């Protein structure tokens, strides 16, 4: 999660909402990313989607069934759907997202039995640090 926080800091330095993500297989980081919506002008450039793309390219497969994704903020519905569709094994996140969280807070996409895949969930890892980055970023904007 420390690596994901480093990525979130990189996002903030670029004027992006500070969210960072890592893809890990057997304890080895295979991909890292941070939000790039402002820089790219692409509304889908969330850290999770970018790290999924990078991990799939590295593994040469869209099936990421051995991958754990670490992300500083609970994934939104778009990202949670991509995590299901990429078949990730586990998602670990820092702080919950009361406005858009779709893995636990508003929805439970990662464990919805109506879907064709479910993933393990671990929340609250370095949550205070993740939330502090977000609070500081939005405080500067106001």
* Catalytic residue positions, numbered: 48
Contacts of 5 (CB under 8 A, 6+ apart): 20, 72, 94, 126, 129, 130, 133
d(CA 7, CA 64): 21
d(CA 116, CA 26): 24
């Amino acid at each position: 999660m420390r690596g994901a926080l480093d990525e979130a800091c990189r996002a903030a330095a670029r004027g992006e909402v500070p969210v960072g993500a890592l893809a890990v297989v057997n304890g080895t980081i295979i991909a890292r990313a941070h939000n790039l919506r402002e820089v790219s002008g692409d509304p889908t450039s969330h850290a999770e989607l970018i790290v999924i793309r990078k991990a799939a390219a590295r593994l040469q497969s869209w099936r990421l069934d051995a991958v754990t994704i670490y992300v500083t903020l609970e994934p939104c519905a778009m990202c949670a759907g991509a995590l299901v569709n990429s078949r990730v094994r586990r998602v670990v996140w820092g702080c919950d997202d009361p406005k858009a969280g779709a893995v636990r807070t508003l929805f439970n996409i990662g464990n919805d039995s109506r879907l064709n895949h479910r993933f393990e969930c671990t929340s609250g890892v370095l949550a205070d640090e993740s939330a502090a980055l977000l609070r500081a970023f939005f405080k500067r904007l106001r």
